[in-house]
Structure 1
Amino acid sequence: MPPIRKPLVSLTAAALLTTGLVAAGPATAAPGRAAPEAGNTAAVPATIPITITNKSGRNDRVYLYNLGTDLATGRQGWADANGTFHPWPAGGNPPTPAPDASIAGPANGQSLTIRLPKFSGRVYFSYGQKLDFRLTTGGLVQPAVQNPSDPNRNILFNWTEYTLNDGGLWINSTQVDMVSAPYAVGVKLANGTTKNTGHLKPGGYNAFYNALKSQSGGWANLIQTRSDGTILRALSPGHAVGTGVLPASVMNDYINRVWTKYASSTLTVTPFKDQPNTKYFGRVSGNVMNFTNGAGAVVTSFQKPDADSVFGCHKLLDAPNDAVRGPISRTLCAGYNRSTLLSNPNQPDADNANFYKDAVTNHYARAIHAQMADGKAYAFAFDDVGNHESLVTDGNPQAAFITLDPFS
């Protein structure tokens, strides 16, 4: 099973303030998604080809980076175009520049094939300028453009997350941290067919940003531009709340209504689709939502969350990788972001026709899902609840693909 999303490294507050950098964000594919790991070692070679095709329509030079954790050793590093692993050297405090791990990418209208090793990591791509990576004593510091002092703030870039291991390949297009340069991912199966996800609808890039611009309540503030007016990205609402560009109270009305409703009625959570008899029952008492099992015993409790907890699926909605609290929290997180907890007391709600209907919702997630060609996106960490995430996976991958799509 690919590991739960987690930072690659944590920096001390002093180091962050000194460098203007922020510790790395999520760096693994398919958070929380179980998949077969055994019995497939012969089918998955040490590396597989990945072809990057540039259909962006841009004339900027493209730079590629394949960064992550070598699953054989647990060491962090980078892979060159042949898929050869290179461990990072020791870093410093303040962080020191990382070796140049860039690979010259394809020009517009061209393709380039490199090799993916058995990594849990990211393939970054940037337009017009190389990215600035640093190393601290704890490992790699990746771009975190919610920090205005991050050296990558004015670079147009994005990344895909993947895990390739003995169980197969998981590769996604992610919007958990931001929506930026459009792209799609794919995998080629043994029978020669391909699975793809991440493409926007025609006009979807501009439509997404226009949706944020027209949404009242501070949502337009998620958009970051360069001084020349070029749109660089839209921050996720979790980062926007954390940096103060989106009001911390933005979800309060919905959260309060949920709290009121389940003080006098029961929220039923069935967290495992393949275990329909495993149910937990939530009721609010004071500032706590207690969940009981079928025998009436309290199995876990949640304090009333705030917007940061909801958008980040953490803090007051922490989701440990266990059999009870984590699955309940994942379900609650999805329900809050999709605003389905009031309309359906049986969660998770699997029907995306019911998502984002309340006036108070995750409008960033609503807008990006609405513009995806297949309706799927990774707009928050547990968007995979109900399989609504932009992920492709296969146990016997023959090749992988990244398509750099048009900015339209």
Structure 2
Amino acid sequence: MLRTLKRRAMAVGLSIVTVLGGSLLATGVPAPAHAAAVPDTIPLKITNNSGRGEQVYVYNLGTQLSTGRQGWADASGTFHPWPAGGNPPTPAPDASMTGPAAGQSTTIRVPKFSGRIYFSYGRKLVFKLTTGGLVQPAVQNPTDPNRDILFNWSEYTLDDSGLWLNSTQVDMFSAPYSVGVRRADGGTTSTGRLRPGGYDAVLDTLRGQPGGWAGLIQTRSDGTVLRALSPLYGLETGALPASVMDDYIDRVWRKYSGSTLTVTPFTDQPGVKYHGRVSGGVMNFTNGAGAVVTSFQKPDASSVFGCHRRLDAPNDQVRGPISRTLCAGFNRSTLLTNPDQPDSGSGGFYQDPVTNHYARAVHAQMADGKAYAFAFDDVGNHESLVHDGDPSQASLSLDPFD
């Protein structure tokens, strides 16, 4: 059961929030009958298949679901709330755990939390606390203290209904990893693993794509490739021009000035449809009775890549689901080829010359084709997410850099 809502890239400088790629905890969702079987903590096995020799550090940061308090968990799964922060920000307590050496595994326990499992190579991450909570790394900022550290993170929620665990590239493509869950019956499910050679292939695709996409790649002074920023951050850093999506957006607006875009946002409610037409520069969506239910100004590249601003998706049952679908269609460049959204298959994704080439590169190199390359990559179930209602163990594999 994938409980719908949204996956948002976490805002820089804000408190860590209840985040899980594609499936924030929704209210009003009944827990399954076996919910009581989910223990307070479950084991997370971390295996280092990276082939790298640096010391690995691991962090489990998030929100304790029983209290809503923000903090960190140690290797035993014990929760520690953050102390009060300051302005300017003050150093956070050292929440690091020693990760496994190359070729080794270690197991920690994760509590009923919604947050992130960070891991870094060679250096500990720098976390600080403001009066509003934990400051997240913001590597699009050249002065961020984590800018030259090789690191990544996974997102998860463990609650009475089970485990949701993802791999994510919404903010950046960096140190490769995959995630998995072992069910109570012993079966396993995993996702997020790159194809052999996939890490280098993603970077090479960006290097070969004209228009500024190579500028998403960040390196250290010693030549080490650290990451490729998401295109949203590429706009912020100036690597990508603000007009990078304008041609496609303009063509979409022209097409639906003379025809109708139909959105069926709920797979389990095929009768719920909304119909969009552009009039006066605004795309208005009507319901089956012909009443306008929401409207969208023409988006810009930031709105598309971030699934925000003019494509804001509130946690409701109308505008949010329509906006999610629009955002996915813009990023995948399918709105011109299919007036009935969302697309069920991925064969037509990223085919237009104007598209999210970052998402195209990432998806092409995933062994199962699934990824979280933008905020609503779960539209149509193309996300890299594992879920089980009665998990016996979770896994995180630090994968090879090739």
**TM-score (norm. length: structure 2):** 0.96
Q: 1:6-405 maps to which residues of 2 (within 5 A)?
A: 22-23=13-14, 28-32=19-23, 37-405=31-399
For residue 242 of structure 1, report the CA deviation from its aligned partner.
2.0
SS at match of 1:369: helix
For residue 30 of structure 1, report the CA deviation from its aligned partner.
3.2
What code does the residue aligned with 2:125 have?
L
Q: Could you tell me how far apart the structure 1 residues matched to 2:388 and 2:248 are?
A: 38
Deviation readout 1:176-223 (Å, 9 max, x if unpaired): 000000000000011101000000000000000000000001000000
Q: Which runs of 5+ in 1 are unaligned?
A: 11-21
For residue 144 of structure 1, report the CA deviation from its aligned partner.
1.0
Q: Could you tell me how far apart the structure 2 residues matched to 1:5 and 1:273 are?
A: 18
Q: Could you tell me how far apart the structure 2 residues matched to 1:301 and 1:64 are?
A: 44
What code does the residue aligned with 2:97 have?
I
**TM-score (norm. length: structure 1):** 0.95
What code does the residue aligned with 1:179 have?
F
What code does the residue aligned with 2:163 have?
L
SS at match of 1:388: coil
SS at match of 1:271: coil
Deviation readout 1:23-56 (Å, 9 max, x if unpaired): 4687611334667535333210000000000000
Q: 1:24 to 1:353 in 2, by over 3 A?
A: farther
Alpha-carbon RMSD across the aligned residues, in angstroms, is: 1.5
For residue 9 of structure 1, report the CA deviation from its aligned partner.
7.1
SS at match of 1:357: coil
What code does the residue aligned with 2:69 have?
R
SS at match of 2:257: coil
**Runs of 4+ off more than 2 Å:** 1-10, 22-27, 30-41
Q: Could you tell me how far apart the structure 2 residues matched to 1:140 and 1:187 are?
A: 28
Are the counterparts in 2 of residues 27 and 122 from structure 1 also a CA contact under 8 Å?
A: no
SS at match of 1:42: helix
* Aligned-pair identity (%): 72
Q: Which runs of 5+ in 2 are unaligned?
A: none
Q: Could you tell me how far apart the structure 2 residues matched to 1:390 and 1:298 are?
A: 34
For residue 244 of structure 1, report the CA deviation from its aligned partner.
1.7
Q: Could you tell me how far apart the structure 1 residues matched to 2:269 and 2:124 are?
A: 47
For residue 239 of structure 1, report the CA deviation from its aligned partner.
1.0
Deviation readout 1:219-270 (Å, 9 max, x if unpaired): 0000000011110000000111122221110000000000000000000000
Q: Could you tell me how far apart the structure 1 residues matched to 2:288 and 2:318 are?
A: 13
SS at match of 1:354: coil
Are the counterparts in 2 of residues 68 and 121 from structure 1 also a CA contact under 8 Å?
A: yes
Q: 1:305 to 1:9 in 2, by over 3 A?
A: closer
Q: Could you tell me how far apart the structure 2 residues matched to 1:2 and 1:256 are?
A: 30
